[in-house]
Structure 1
Amino acid sequence: MRKAIVGILVVLSGPALAEPVVIAALGDSLTQGYGLPQEEGFVPQLESWLREQGADVQILNAGVSGDTTAGGLSRAAWTLTPDVDAMIVTLGGNDLLRGIDPAVSRANLDGILQAAAEADVEVLLVGMQAPGNYGPEYKAAFDAMYSELAEQYDTLYAPSFFEGMGGVGIDPAQVRGLMQADGIHPNAEGVVQIVQGLGPEVLNLISELPES
């Protein structure tokens, strides 16, 4: 009887009780899955893709439609709960729509990365590119802040959320069929391509974690 109990304890303390890697996806409507059924949004599709690659992972949807980098900073502390192992940060699109000073956006992203560093949470920072209509100085400052902050905090960096659809210099005409009617948010098939582009970066993020 005692041997049986010992055997049960060994089984219960083994790999069967291993916890999945928990990743918080901090972002705006692109992360939240605006305009799509829940199962077709970015987070569920990314989680499914990662599991197909063999990753034992849970993605938390911390995307809020309309959120700016300031909104993300205000949510960072309570998003980084003790069970969160890593974080994907995809913010800045709404800063662009509002013409917010890149120095302000940069300070907010800096605060988010600082919070992650203090929580000992690995980060994948996803970049974004400003349109040219704000002027060359605005565009240069905005575009550069992501890679520079990633280097400063030694985080992983992906140049664009839309890398799987062509990334920087994307031709809107070529991806019209992958977007919703507003031309801003991807449809379900667009999300498939986004996940195929970002998925390997998230696998790299997972590989950075201890005992992953």
Structure 2
Amino acid sequence: MKIVLHQFASFAYGVSRSAGNRARAGLLGLTALCALSVAPATADTVRLVALGDSLTQGYGLADGEGFVPVLQDWLTQQGADVTVINAGVSGDTTAGGLARMDWTLAEPADAMIVALGGNDLLRGLSPKTSRENLDGILARLKLERIPALLVGLPAPGNYGPEFKNAFEAMYVDLAAKYDVPLYPDFLRPLSEKADAGMSFRDLMQDDNIHPNATGVQEIVDAMGPEVLQLVQSVAEAEG
């Protein structure tokens, strides 16, 4: 993973339930809905919001090739009754994600993938600040009784051991604090190839920043089972 993030380190990713939760769905919710990529849903469909940056948003990819639609297709193929909502914003940091929680939750959400921190890392922002922002997001989800999957990224060594340890520890610590599952590395397929001394250019777009369609598919294939477990747990709790 050090190799992967060293190559990413000079730019940003974005070239850039409770009754109370459901009661907020009104005119503001309709506005938010228009701004999000939403698949058709039935009354019992689990609404899974993917909160993230350009990796979630699908930067540089054709319709249907980004993380959210590919994940939607993968989950559907597993028999999951779920709608994955794209709340990814290119270039967003943990601060941005926290700031738009009201807007993101304007429509009902049954579960959330929280995949933020990459831009904080690439900009060298303080892990302490990133931790506080992620803590705010997870605290809000706990208050709203919305289950979450926290998705992290390992830090490269060029920031120094203190930074690396603090950045990586925030995901582990917060997952434990809020009792949510942790998927440690969004870019796991790329990391694994890098760790094996292999090139991962075949999984990247020409900008060498964002995964291409093949890369996204591998990312979803790797992360999918963790997401499916979250969706199934929500469905069982609501059933």
Aligned to 1:194: 219
Aligned to 2:75: 50
Match of 2:8 in 1: none
Instruction: Give the superposition deviation at 1:166.
Output: 4.2
Rounded to whole Å, the distance in 2 between the matches of 1:164 and 1:136 is 24
Contact 2:117 2:153 in 1 (8 A): yes
Q: Distance in 2 between matches of 1:77 and 1:114?
A: 13
Aligned ranges for residues 69-80 of structure 1 at < 5 Å? 69-80=94-105
Alignment partner, residue 24 of structure 1? 49
Letter of the 1:149 partner, please give it: L
Rounded Cα–Cα distance in structure 2 between residues aligned with 1:88 and 1:130: 20
CA positional deviation for 1:173: 4.1
Query: What residue identity is the alignment partner of 2:59?
Result: Y
3-state secondary structure, aligned to 1:199? helix
Distance 2:193 2:131 in 1: 20
Which structure exhibits the higher relative contact order, with contacts defined as CA atoms closer than 8 Å and separated by 6 or more residues?
Answer: 2
What is aligned with 1:10?
none
2:174 is equivalent to residue 136 of structure 1: no
- Percent identity reads 57
Change (3 A) 1:170 1:179: farther
Q: TM-score, normalised by structure 2?
A: 0.78
Q: Which residue of 1 aligns with 2:23?
A: none
Aligned residue for 1:130, secondary structure, equals coil
Would you say 1:211 and 2:238 are equivalent positions? yes
Q: Distance in 2 between matches of 1:168 and 1:103?
A: 30
Ranges in structure 1 where 5+ consecutive residues have no aligned partner: 1-16
Alignment of 1:54-73 (within 5 A): 54-73=79-98
C-alpha separation in 1, matches of 2:81 and 2:227 = 12
1:201 shift after superposition: 0.5
Any idea what SS the aligned residue of 1:140 has?
A: helix
Q: Which residue of 1 aligns with 2:115?
A: 90
Structure number with greater Rg is 1
Distance verdict in 2 for CA 1:160–1:52, change over 3 Å: same
Paired with 1:169 and 1:152, the residues of 2 have a C-alpha distance of 31
Offset of 1:53 from its aligned partner? 0.1
Matched to 1:211, the amino acid is E
- With the length of structure 1 as denominator, give the TM-score of the two structures: 0.87
2:171 counterpart residue number: 146
Mapped partners of 1:143, 1:117: distance in 2: 22
- Counterpart-to-counterpart distance in 2, 1:189 and 1:199: 15
Alpha-carbon deviation of 1:72? 0.4
Does structure 2 conserve the Cα–Cα contact (< 8 Å) formed by 1:122 and 1:208?
no
CA positional deviation for 1:75: 1.1
Q: What secondary structure does 1:208 align onto?
A: helix
Instruction: Provide the C-alpha distance between the structure 2 equivalents of 1:169 and 1:150, rounded to a whole number of angstroms.
Output: 26
When the two chains are superposed, the root-mean-square deviation of aligned CA atoms in Å is 1.7
Q: Deviations over 1:6-33 (max 9, x none)?
A: xxxxxxxxxxx64211000000000000
Residue number in structure 2 paired with 1:118:
143
User: What is the CA–CA distance in structure 2 between the aligned matches of 1:168 and 1:177, rounded to whole Å?
Assistant: 11
